[in-house]
Structure 1
Amino acid sequence: MATQYASAVDQGRVLSEAVARVAACWKFTNEQLGLVLGISAATASRLRSGSYRLERPDKAFELGQFLVRLFRSLDALMGSDDAASMSWLKAENLDLGGRPIDLIRTIRGLGDVADYVDDYRARV
Structure 2
Amino acid sequence: MVSISGSGKGTGRATARPSAKSNVPRTLEAANPAALPAAAAVLTKATLRAAALLGLSNAALARVVGVSESTVSRLASGQRALEPGTKPAELAALLVRLYRSLDAMVGNSDRQRQLWMASYNRAFNAAPKDAIESADGLSRVLRYLDGARAVV
Superposition misfits of 4+ residues, deviation over 4 angstroms: none
Identity score, percent: 39
Query: RMSD over aligned Cα, in angstroms?
Result: 1.4
Aligned equivalent of 1:9: 37
- Between stretches 49-58 and 85-94, larger displacement belongs to 49-58
Aligned-partner Cα distance in 1 for 2:134–2:65: 9
Aligned equivalent of 1:56: 84
TM-score, length basis structure 2: 0.73
Aligned equivalent of 1:3: none
Aligned equivalent of 2:107: 79
Q: CA deviation at 1:9?
A: 2.4
- 1:34-93 Cα distance to aligned partner (Å, 9 max, x none): 000100000011111222100122100000010000000000100111110110111111
Would you say how many aligned residue pairs link Structure 1 and Structure 2? 117
Higher relative contact order (CA 8 A, sep 6+): 1
Aligned equivalent of 2:144: 116
- Give unpaired runs (5+ residues) of structure 2: 1-35
- 1:37 equivalenced with 2:62 (yes/no): no
Which structure dedicates a bigger proportion of its chain to helix?
1
Which structure dedicates a bigger proportion of its chain to strand?
2
- 1:28 equivalenced with 2:56 (yes/no): yes
- Give unpaired runs (5+ residues) of structure 1: 1-7
Q: Which has the larger Rg?
A: 2
